[in-house]
Amino acid sequence: MPVLEVKGKKLTLDEDGFLQDWEEWDEEVAEALAKDTRFSPQPIELTEDHWVLIRYLREYFLKYGVAPPVRMLVKHMKKTLGKEKGTLEYIYQLFPQGPAKDACRIAGLPKPTGCV
C-alpha cells in the first residue's frame, strides 16, 4: 500500500491514492494529496474554488455517508460561485480526473463505488 507522509505522520493510501482512513484528513493532507503526482498526471494547486467543492463534498459525506451525485456538485457550484462556474466543465478544469477521482480523493473521502 502506498503511504503519504504529512506532518511526520504516515497515512496509508489505497492503490488509487484514496486515504484508507478518511478521518485522518485535514486541509494539510488535502494539499499533500493534491500535489502527489503518483495518482494524478499533474499536481493541483488548490484555490478557493477548489476548497468550495472540497468543503461541500466533506459536509455532504458527513451528513449522508456517501459522496453527492455529480448533479448536486454542479448545482452547489452554480449557487456558490455563479452560473459561469456552475458547470461540469468547470469542475473538470479544477479536478482534471473528475469529481469522483480527483475531488473525492483530495477531500479525503472513501473511493466512490463504481466511479473509479
- 15: Cβ–Cβ under 8 A, 6 or more apart, which residues? 1, 2
Residue 35 buriedness (CB in 10 A; 0-12 / 13-18 / 19+): middle
Decide if 104 is catalytic.
no
Short-list 1, 4, 7, CA closest to 106: 4
The parent domain of residue 11 ranges over: 3-106
Catalytic residue among 62, 66, 72, 115: 115
32 band by pLDDT with thresholds 50, 70 and 90:
very high
User: What's the whole-model pTM score?
Assistant: 0.93
- The 3-state DSSP composition of the chain as helix, strand, coil percent (nearest 5) reads 50, 10, 40
Mean pLDDT of 92-115: 90
Summarize pLDDT for 40-60 with one digit per residue, the tens. 889 999 999 999 999 999 999
Summarize pLDDT for 34-44 with one digit per residue, the tens. 999 999 889 99
Q: How many domains does the chain have?
A: 1
Res. 114: pLDDT tops 70: no
Answer whether residue 83 is part of any domain: yes
Answer whether residue 111 is part of any domain: no
Q: From CA 50, how far away is CA 38, in angstroms rounded?
A: 20
Residue 57 is part of a domain; what is its CATH number? 1.10.10.370
Residue type present at position 61: F
Q: From CA 92, how far away is CA 103, in angstroms rounded?
A: 9
pLDDT > 90 in the chain, percent: 90
